[in-house]
Structure 1
Amino acid sequence: MDLYVEVIIDAYGGRGRGAVIRQWFDYWESVLFAGREGNAGVRWSGGVVRTANDRSVNFVDRPERRRAFVMELCDAPFWAEASLNTDNEEQLTRVRTFPSIFDDPKYLSLSATVPCTDDEARDAEFCSQVASSVAESCASLNPAFGRVEHGFFDDRTNLDVGLRRRPAMSVRESRNTLRGYAWVTILPEELLRRIGGTATLEKSGAFFRVCPLPAGGAMLQASPTVASCTDSVLEAVFRSLARVLPRGVPSPHVAFPGVRFIPQDAGVVGL
């Protein structure tokens, strides 16, 4: 199953939304598309929705159209996607942006789909490269939240599902309460300070890697590989982050059978 990378941005550090969107697309297209473009039967395509009331404008793989797509990104569209697809319309990978909250453009979702075979999910070098790419793509950002999920592609986090929360609510509260946790979690600066900083997280032993982000916050990698993120690993992550997680006992949801979480109340564990 593929990996879903998502970062939520609500602060732009003096830059426009368009500059942040273009930077995200430039980075992840270079990571995901470079080794696949040019292969027989693989083509690039792009799409943009300029405002919530507009129809999608599609872009084909010609130099002038790709330049036009980049210019559209600079204008901070409501929604945009670039993808690689086969001649049979199978999507191989994609980079996407859309508003995390439909009627509030302040909250921006930036995402990428990383192809991942079962062998790659067990490959420490591949997984390290993915985690490093996440950290590098956020180096100049100040994320409100971020995650890398395995086989779960939704704007809901694991705790949105388990606690039956609307994503719009958890997004608005993301600098006060951590939205969820996964194999890779991005902790915003405000919550990192409440936890006690990166030194506290490293000392906890819950994480394989704790990487401070230059513009604020930290990337937390739970285990060396995606496949080695077992239930016991996830429980250690949960306990180390409990004091900044939402209260309540999450429970399984019939519509999301594969979503993983620890069925305990963070409000009790984090006391």
Structure 2
Amino acid sequence: MNVSVQVSFDAAASDGPGASLVRWFRAARTGLYSGLVEAEARSGGGVVSEAQIVPDIDDLVRRFPRIGKTWPRFEEELATFPWGAQLVFLTEGEEPEVLGRASSYHVLRDGSIWRASALTSVDSPDDAASCTALVDFLHAALDGSNPLYGHIEWDDFDELTNLDTVLRRKRRTSLREGRQFLRGYAWVTVCPAELVTRLGGAAALEDLGAFHRVLPLRAGGVLLQASATMDGYTEQVMERLFEALAPVLPPGEPRPDPAHPYMRFVPRDAATVR
């Protein structure tokens, strides 16, 4: 089953944009896709990888085949904060299948907001070990940064959050107000330092008892894991999460979007909970 991990960054990233990209792709290689890296290294492992860099939106793609041999050069390019980057693992053969993909690109041409994502899969939504590994990857990829927002979801909603969709918020508005309002909530939610402070701090969030795990980031943000497994993210758990985060959620009456019938959300205006 496919799982999507998405994170938004802005110029408030405390460790610098290039460092945030290096950490993201390094954590993907050594954590999330470590099994694929090992399979490619074995003779007959059936896996092949390629990394790509696009220095600027109008530039040609620079390719780095078989990352086991080209990784140092790829990281050097990441450190320059390119417009786009990708690391992909494929099955070998005439019709390759994507086994995993990590990517990043500038949301705004001036580089003031950028996005990182990863696509992977889990064997079962109720497997605690694989679910924990997903969260541990995200924590390793972000520790040292103060992201604007992030989440782990079952599906990739084309960069939309659940609240962007049901509140009909424009994506750029949501991004630009990301340190004023939390952009959404999910099984795992990344909350920036500014909003953590308004919620009373990481210790206060942990004391609420509304989360399975509260994982602080060194730069002040937190990862909030709602339940031990993705399967455990029930309507009751989501309601508890919503109420805990309501003080920093954008106001408005949510309305279902027919284009996204499986989007999960609590049908209440967060402003009425505060």
TM-score (norm 2): 0.90
Structure 1 match to 2:88: 83
Structure 1 match to 2:118: 112
Tell me the distance in 2 between the aligned counterparts of 1:126 and 1:34.
Answer: 13
Q: What's the CA shift for 1:153?
A: 4.5
Q: What's the CA shift for 1:65?
A: 4.6
Tell me the distance in 2 between the aligned counterparts of 1:62 and 1:149.
Answer: 27
Tell me the distance in 2 between the aligned counterparts of 1:161 and 1:46.
Answer: 32
User: Contact conserved, 2:50 with 2:67, CA < 8 A, in 1?
Assistant: no
Are residues 245 and 12 of structure 1, via their aligned partners in 2, closer, same or farther at CA, if it must alter by over 3 Å?
closer
Are residues 57 and 216 of structure 1, via their aligned partners in 2, closer, same or farther at CA, if it must alter by over 3 Å?
same
Unaligned 5+ runs, structure 1: none
102, 124, 128: which one aligns with 2:108: 102
Q: What's the CA shift for 1:133?
A: 2.2
Give secondary structure in 2 for the equivalent of 1:35.
helix
Runs of 4+ in structure 1 off by over 6 angstroms are: none
Deviations 1:218-243 (A, max 9, x none): 11100010011011111110111111
User: Contact conserved, 2:32 with 2:133, CA < 8 A, in 1?
Assistant: no
Mapped pair 1:162 → 2:166: yes
Deviations 1:178-206 (A, max 9, x none): 00000001111111111112233223222
Give secondary structure in 1 for the equivalent of 2:35.
coil
User: Contact conserved, 1:8 with 1:110, CA < 8 A, in 2?
Assistant: yes
143, 146, 169: which one aligns with 2:150: 146
Structure 2 match to 1:12: 13
Unaligned 5+ runs, structure 2: none
Structure 1 match to 2:49: 44
Tell me the distance in 1 between the aligned counterparts of 2:78 and 2:262.
Answer: 34
Tell me the distance in 1 between the aligned counterparts of 2:33 and 2:152.
Answer: 19
Structure 2 match to 1:131: 135
Give secondary structure in 1 for the equivalent of 2:260.
coil
Of stretches 137-146 and 47-56 in structure 1, the one that deviates more from structure 2 is: 47-56
Are residues 204 and 257 of structure 1, via their aligned partners in 2, closer, same or farther at CA, if it must alter by over 3 Å?
same
Give secondary structure in 2 for the equivalent of 1:226.
coil
Mapped pair 1:61 → 2:66: yes
Deviations 1:3-26 (A, max 9, x none): 21222222233x442222112111
Which amino acid letter does the alignment assign opposite residue 200 of structure 1? A
Structure 1 match to 2:31: 31
Tell me the distance in 2 between the aligned counterparts of 1:35 and 1:64.
Answer: 17
Q: What's the CA shift for 1:154?
A: 2.5
TM-score (norm 1): 0.91
Give secondary structure in 1 for the equivalent of 2:204.
helix
Give secondary structure in 1 for the equivalent of 2:253.
coil
Are residues 252 and 51 of structure 1, via their aligned partners in 2, closer, same or farther at CA, if it must alter by over 3 Å?
same
Of stretches 226-235 and 52-61 in structure 1, the one that deviates more from structure 2 is: 52-61
Tell me the distance in 2 between the aligned counterparts of 1:213 and 1:16.
Answer: 15
Aligned length: 266
Are residues 194 and 31 of structure 1, via their aligned partners in 2, closer, same or farther at CA, if it must alter by over 3 Å?
same
CA RMSD of aligned residues (A): 1.8
Mapped pair 1:220 → 2:221: no
